[in-house]
Amino acid sequence: MALSLKQATTLIVDDFPSMRTMLRDFVKGMGVSKIDTASNGKDALSHLKSTRYDIVICDYNLGEGTSGQQVLEEAKLHDYVGVSTIWVMVTAEKTSDMVLGAAEVKPDDYLLKPINQTLLQARLEKLIVRKESLGVVETAIRAKNFAEAIGHCDKLLQNEATHHQEVWRIKSDLLLTLGDYVAAQTLFETVLAARNVPWAKTGLGKVLFYTQDFIGAVSLFRQVLADNPMYVEAADWLAKTLEITGELDQAQQVLMEAVKISPNSPVRQKILGDTAFKNGDLNVARTAFERNIRISEFSTHKNPAVYARLADVFSDKNAHLDALNILKRSKEDFRFNPSAALQTATAESRVYHKMGRTDLAQAAMANAEKLADQLGSNLTSELMMDVAKSHFKMGQKDKACKLLADVIKNNHENTVIAGQIEAIFAAEQLTDEGQALIHTSRQEVIDINNRGVTLAKQGNFQEGVTLLRSAVAKLPTSEVMIINLCGLLIGQMNKEGFKETLAVEAKKLLDRVHRLNPTNQKFQSYTRVLNNLRRGT
């Protein structure tokens, strides 16, 4: 039975009691009985975490704290809302910053105050008709059964009453998630043959990016921006592609134009800061990092790495006291975050080293090493590279090289990370040594994988499993090692029969791979095979 407006579970979010009451009365007047209200972003997220809402009516400006835009960002990030949820943003603001900021997080609609019941009801009734068919798609997505979700999309696209553009976009996202770039390209080209829409051309550019046709991707993203200068998603992807091709100056210019259009994205401000810092443009980097800290204060995007990078900027400008003060603030803002503590300690070591305070630099570095040991397998590649930079500054080349070798081994197919490591070595005038380390580290992983594949082909799954278990223990974030170990476990069960302990191990490995890379192409197929093995017991 199709969902009607009267049946819809609804959440109203507004910081003014009178506005909450008015909106609640409007919705009640439409016959809706299941209505919750929230007075701020924190309260709204608490409701969204515990209840699946059909409709959310949220004010953009929620006073001090999280904004409506940030609530929607966090709700999407944590999967509190799905493709079938209706999200209407309400605002009294008409500034381009607000309009573009709201548009970027893709609410289903936004209304300018003052509003009345007739207008709100008309919008909601139109949206509920558009959304009611997406429930089955959302259920499949939540179960991580993306192939089934695509199948539901295909059925919906056969119905002329379906809002095809929305379903095309959902299907395209699913295909990119699965890494099915051939099907994604066909979809985008089909949409573009009927109508030149920026999201489809940007999507086609993403396909070229993922298949490493960077020249073609740059061309497409530039075309999108030439036709649609306000479509900042294309600018983000253009900058990302230009950085990979080494065009950092151009990437910075693209990002600077994008933040003029839509300045309230903390992610974009961080990327601009990082890019400008690499270019040595300390003034732009400082402005971007400070803006990021300001707008992400109550956001899920609040990031200790930004504080550390800003400290580096201050230090390079010889404003050492400002550098230490921002790191002090980082300690206060992220006091219960061990990764943040590590980031702060490594940045402190660099600041003190530049100040000539060798004793304090060494103490900060010793603290960083202790924190890194405590994090163990939770140590990200970004953090490992940051620690390595500080080791180099302290003259601890061997420690830096060991860390960077581990980063390469965990990400031996990741060309972006390889480029970042090459840049670290280049900054230390060790370009040739860096390239040799990258080659040797990659080859070590390739050799282990090849041995595992050979053992599997020989039917010696147990020995192969033992080999890759040892490798995964040493390289806990190596996507290739993890998925190959999973494949060997499945092969062993195909040969010897289903074993619950091996199935549980394989499921944990799949979950780990999905966290590392949701687009891993073997995730879905291995998940299906594992489920079939379990059902066959």
Average the pLDDT over 301-326 and give the result. 96
pLDDT in tens, 460-474: 999 999 999 999 998
pLDDT in tens, 322-341: 999 999 999 999 998 999 99
pLDDT reported for residue 101: 56
Using alpha carbons, list the distances in angstroms from residue 224 to 202, 219, 221.
7, 9, 5
Give the residue ranges of DSSP H helices in 376-520.
Answer: 381-393, 397-410, 415-427, 431-457, 461-474, 479-496, 500-516
pLDDT beyond 60 at 102 = no
Mean pLDDT of the chain, nearest integer: 91
Q: DSSP character for 517?
A: -
pLDDT in tens, 185-227: 999 999 999 999 999 999 999 999 999 999 999 999 999 999 9
Using alpha carbons, list the distances in angstroms from residue 477 to 153, 334, 346, 378, 517.
33, 24, 22, 9, 10
Q: DSSP character for 82?
A: -
Query: Does residue 85 sit in helix, strand or coil?
Result: coil
For residue 434, give both structure tokens: 């860096």
The sign of the CA dihedral 75, 80, 84, 88 is negative
For residue 396, give both structure tokens: 């601890």
pLDDT in tens, 227-253: 999 899 999 999 999 999 989 999 999
385 vs 108 pLDDT, higher one: 385
Contact by Cβ (8 Å): 306, 270: yes
> From its phi and psi, is residue 79 left (phi > 0), alpha (psi between -120 and 50) or beta?
left
Q: How open is the CA angle 88-113-106, to the nearest 5 degrees?
A: 25
What CA–CA distance (Å, rounded) separates 359 from 341? 19
β-bridge partners, 109: 88
Average the pLDDT over 500-507 and give the result. 93
pLDDT beyond 90 at 177 = no
In the numeric block, the tokens 């649609």 are attached to: 228
299 vs 420 pLDDT, higher one: 420
Average the pLDDT over 408-435 and give the result. 92
Q: Count the neighbouring beta carbons within 10 Å of the beta carbon of residue 356.
A: 9
For residue 296, give both structure tokens: 């992400």
- Residue by residue, DSSP assigns 303-365 as -HHHHHHHHHHHHHTT-HHHHHHHHHHHHHHTTT-HHHHHHHHHHHHHHHHHHT-HHHHHHHH
Whether pTM exceeds 0.75: yes
pLDDT reported for residue 94: 64
Percent of the chain with pLDDT over 70: 96
Burial (CB count <10 Å: 0-12, 13-18, 19+), residue 265:
buried
pLDDT reported for residue 113: 85
For residues 90, 60, 232, 326, the Cα torsion angle rounded to the nearest 10 degrees is: 180
pLDDT beyond 90 at 269 = yes
pLDDT reported for residue 293: 96
pLDDT reported for residue 378: 85
Closest CA to 80 of 145, 138, 12: 138
Q: Which of the residue ranges 99-113, 334-348, 443-457 would you say has the lowest mean pLDDT? A: 99-113
pLDDT in tens, 376-391: 888 899 999 999 999 9
pLDDT beyond 50 at 57 = yes
Contact by Cβ (8 Å): 73, 28: no
Could you tell me which residues come within 8 angstroms of residue 110 by beta carbon, excluding any fewer than 6 positions away? 60, 88, 89, 90, 91, 99, 102
In the numeric block, the tokens 């065009």 are attached to: 247
pLDDT in tens, 335-373: 989 999 999 999 999 999 999 999 999 999 999 999 999
pLDDT reported for residue 97: 56
pLDDT in tens, 478-491: 999 999 999 999 99
pLDDT reported for residue 1: 37
Cis? peptide before 304, omega within 30° of 0: no
Contact by Cβ (8 Å): 62, 40: yes
pLDDT beyond 90 at 70 = no
Q: Which domains does the chain have, with CATH numbers?
A: 5-132 (3.40.50.2300), 444-535 (1.25.40.10)
